[in-house]
Chain A
């Protein structure tokens, strides 16, 4: 990821809750759990650096209390970081005035909340149009736009319902529609599906991927569910007690976990769903005869059937058809039985 590609760039961000946090950060040379707790501070975010690239789904994953929400709120300056730099479209957010922040949030950011945060006194239409209303868009245009996004999330026909008449899943669809009504440049989602029951959660994840395939937004998505992270993420940042332990693609995390903590998560994971052909392939020596070819990004789960039926290994190719390597039956079986390569 080169600098220029990153739309959101967050460097060495700290957020300490408690008294005299700034002074502590300035004066204290070694900051660890012990020195923080003796100063009565909570290290919600510690020296976090992430870069979010245009069009990617960047997932921040960690257990409850690991500082995900705090980091996310630093990114939109809902919470003022104790120190650090946050660049959004090349400008330092922390140097913007209050009015500039209002403009940036109005036009460039959208956010979805864990508990939906819908306005109980407004209908679905009123809720979705609300961000535009705040901007002063006239009624005709904002309702027109609101109907578009309501349709996008599959709630057409429910425009005049009140939130309390909807199921949890439907309410979050309203939340999603509302955050999209202003066509944000960057889309923040803080555990959007955690309050839903598992079946609905699954459905909403598919729905989310579908919407993303249409809109191609830049997304920062928060979850405490590693499976969800794997399903959705282009890249994942793993957080633990305020620290970012590792950033990488799902496969990188599984293949090269930075420490035991990350490995722990990957252990009971169906690897075949994480790994793509490219991650498992080996170098193609000249003597190997292949029985077919697969795209490098195809997940093992999806190619396993064909490959196991076939006697011969498959070539792994990129989108231009260039052969990158080869994948054998043995490789696939290893993945399927969760054996580390």
Chain B
């Protein structure tokens, strides 16, 4: 009886829901058909602007931001005891000085003035010395396998002639990481101490992690000008948020016992933080440090757009010259550095627990270690004065596969041009164009209604309100059309990536060996800098929407694969056995049981895919899309802060809208399956 009435209620609300959607579609159709009667509703509105005399040039969101930034760097902004300009100059000096020092040490050598306009140029640290030291450190931290890996990675960089670029890149990383870590820990401590501060920064951190990186290159560039300082600042801004989060979490999860112990021995607040909490939270904090390093390396190429030299610049330059081989090589060098640094820091964090030492030697282990490192570097570098081969890997021994790749692409383009072109045109005409047209024709009030309705159904009125107001921001800042192109490119790429990713995931789940292989493969794929995906794609398909889509699909594939595998893995073996004993065929087990139960997990994977796709989409602006990404990119080249920020925020808002909607849907699905 009861279940019958519940059934009735559910089906009633189903009908009601259905009716709502029907109504929404009816309204949209009416708006669209009667287009001529209300042109304002069909055509996306221009940016909302106002004219208020007292506000001066602040006549729209975009101009207000730009105006504010101009005021900020002007001479009247006494925000601090000094003007803002003095403030930024101090920061710049604080970054510039250590950067120049490390760069001289690793890459350029020091120039020592001898007076009378003469100077003496020292060589940088010897490549040989650094290779030996790094290999030895890897051995000390873990084992010969790691040592060998480190040695091979460094050798690749040397032999392929990327040593100098790599050291320049490392110099900026070496400055960015400590700043990011220190800043992240400090903010994290504040957040831990003052819960209200934590509540205030959490949404800011959320936003920082969804705004495309390009968007804050613009204000940074505006404040610090083109050069390594800007690049390092942007890197810090990008890499710090996870450190803040991890610090807060690590401090919160220090056992209560330890915190009480700290109080009981009468620690002051400062002692509590530095003597009790931070040491106890060290393992967690190390994860954060690793994150900062990895994210900084992620930024290498993008940072080179605002003045970081090194490997990032090499990739970017190759991309502009369409030199696939060189770009690929430099990109791989970045990846190898990331892998080496990642493995080394992980090995350091996971070092065998400290044990008591019985030895009573005069030199402690650490002093000995530093002494050896210093000696090796000093000897190899000094010998470099006499034997240049110690100072620099001879150019004649350098090796490149650039020509091979260029030839390969040329060969493919000559022999398979028609086939490639046919595929491209087919997909363009039959899938991309119609969808683009549909989204561009969709009247904006209709889109808002649909979004609101979806939000309401999945998460109630609050979600509906959030979704609609975020979308309205895009509307009133006049970016509707560009946003729709972003949505279209992102949507279509996500669909492709999800289909391909899920297929791979499902197939791989069939065998443990295959699964492992696939996981390793996508792990590697994910460490490749996103720009590297663009290179072959542009070479094969030239610039345009299609190339952008292919690059985005490639980049966004890993999460779809990973979550599918994970979701299927999670299903208990007994359920599958039950399905088998009840006579399901393999296909039936897969479709009726596995995919269905793994669905919430897969949805989260798709959510991640969307996030990846959006971040890649901004980068594909380089290959000529006409979406928000392009808007950000143009703003960057013109150092137009307002334009960049508004477009960047719009991308972030699209990301947030999708994220909230999909997460809500996944949650509901999980509950329906009784798993939440």
17 other A-B residue contacts (CB within 8 Å) besides A115-B255, A117-B257? A73-B260, A78-B260, A103-B266, A105-B265, A105-B266, A110-B264, A114-B257, A121-B280, A121-B354, A133-B275, A134-B265, A134-B267, A134-B271, A162-B355, A165-B353, A165-B355, A165-B356
Q: Which residues of A contact B355 (CB under 8 A)?
A: 162, 165
| B353, A105: Cβ atoms closer than 8 Å | no
| B264, A111: Cβ atoms closer than 8 Å | yes
- Is A135's beta carbon under 8 Å from chain B? yes
Chain B contacts with A in 561-599, Cβ cutoff 8 A: none
| A121, B255: Cβ atoms closer than 8 Å | no
Closest B residue by C-beta to A159: B356
Closest B residue by C-beta to A158: B356
Chain B contacts with A in 531-566, Cβ cutoff 8 A: none
Q: Which residues of B contact A107 (CB under 8 A)?
A: 266
Q: Which residues of B contact A201 (CB under 8 A)?
A: none
Q: Which residues of A contact B267 (CB under 8 A)?
A: 102, 134
Q: Which residues of A contact B280 (CB under 8 A)?
A: 119-121
| B257, A113: Cβ atoms closer than 8 Å | yes
B253 to nearest A CB, angstroms? 14
A177 to nearest B CB, angstroms? 13
| B279, A106: Cβ atoms closer than 8 Å | no
- Is A130's beta carbon under 8 Å from chain B? yes
- Is B268's beta carbon under 8 Å from chain A? yes
| A106, B265: Cβ atoms closer than 8 Å | yes
| A162, B260: Cβ atoms closer than 8 Å | no
Can you report 20 A-B residue pairs in the complex whose CB atoms are below 8 A from each other? A78-B260, A78-B263, A101-B266, A102-B267, A103-B266, A105-B263, A105-B265, A110-B264, A111-B260, A115-B257, A117-B261, A119-B276, A120-B279, A120-B280, A121-B280, A123-B356, A133-B275, A134-B265, A134-B267, A165-B353
- Where the two chains meet, the residues of B that have a C-beta atom closer than 8 Å to any C-beta of A are 255, 257-258, 260-261, 263-268, 271, 275-276, 279-280, 282, 353-357
| A162, B266: Cβ atoms closer than 8 Å | no
A101 to B267, CA, bound (A): 10
A30 to nearest B CB, angstroms? 33
Q: Which residues of B contact A256 (CB under 8 A)?
A: none
Q: Which residues of A contact B275 (CB under 8 A)?
A: 130, 133-134
- Is A160's beta carbon under 8 Å from chain B? yes
How many residues of chain A have a CB within 8 Å of chain B?
35
Closest A residue by C-beta to B357: A160
A113 to B267, CA, bound (A): 17
One digit per residue, 1 when the CB lies within 8 angstroms of any chain B CB and 0 when it does not, for chain A 89-110 equals 0000000000001111111011
Chain A contacts with B in 158-217, Cβ cutoff 8 A: 160-162, 164-165, 182, 188
| B264, A121: Cβ atoms closer than 8 Å | no
6 closest pairs, A vs B, by CB? Answer: A106-B266, A117-B257, A131-B265, A160-B356, A105-B266, A117-B261
Q: Which of B257, B265, B268 has the most CB of A within 10 A?
A: B265
A279 to B275, CA, bound (A): 51
- Is A76's beta carbon under 8 Å from chain B? yes
Q: Which of B255, B266, B267, B353 has the most CB of A within 10 A?
A: B266
A104 to B266, CA, bound (A): 8
A340 to B349, CA, bound (A): 62
| B356, A117: Cβ atoms closer than 8 Å | no
A41 to B257, CA, bound (A): 24
Select B356's contact among A109, A111, A119, A161, beta carbons within 8 Å: A161
A107 to B355, CA, bound (A): 32
| B266, A135: Cβ atoms closer than 8 Å | yes
Q: Which residues of B contact A114 (CB under 8 A)?
A: 257
Instruction: Name A's interface SS.
Output: mixed
B263 to nearest A CB, angstroms? 6
A273 to B674, CA, bound (A): 54
A134 to B275, CA, bound (A): 9
Q: Which of B257, B264, B280, B357 has the most CB of A within 10 A?
A: B264
Q: Which residues of A contact B276 (CB under 8 A)?
A: 119
B364 to nearest A CB, angstroms? 13
B360 to nearest A CB, angstroms? 11
B536 to nearest A CB, angstroms? 48
A103 to B268, CA, bound (A): 10
| A117, B255: Cβ atoms closer than 8 Å | yes
Q: Which residues of A contact B261 (CB under 8 A)?
A: 111, 113, 117
Q: Which residues of B contact A120 (CB under 8 A)?
A: 279-280
Closest B residue by C-beta to A76: B264
A182 to B261, CA, bound (A): 14
A131 to B261, CA, bound (A): 10
Q: Which residues of A contact B266 (CB under 8 A)?
A: 101-107, 131, 134-135
| A119, B279: Cβ atoms closer than 8 Å | yes
Q: Which residues of B contact A101 (CB under 8 A)?
A: 266
Q: Which residues of B contact A119 (CB under 8 A)?
A: 258, 276, 279-280
Q: Which residues of B contact A188 (CB under 8 A)?
A: 264
| A113, B260: Cβ atoms closer than 8 Å | yes
A73 to B60, CA, bound (A): 58
Select A102's contact among B255, B268, B279, beta carbons within 8 Å: B268
Chain A contacts with B in 41-84, Cβ cutoff 8 A: 73, 76, 78
A240 to nearest B CB, angstroms? 24
| A162, B271: Cβ atoms closer than 8 Å | no
Q: Which of A73, A76, A120, A133 has the most CB of B within 10 A?
A: A120
B598 to nearest A CB, angstroms? 38
A182 to B265, CA, bound (A): 9
A217 to nearest B CB, angstroms? 15
B254 to nearest A CB, angstroms? 10
Closest A residue by C-beta to B267: A134
Known A-B contacts A115-B255, A119-B279; the reply to A105 vs B356 at CB < 8 A is no
B258 to nearest A CB, angstroms? 5
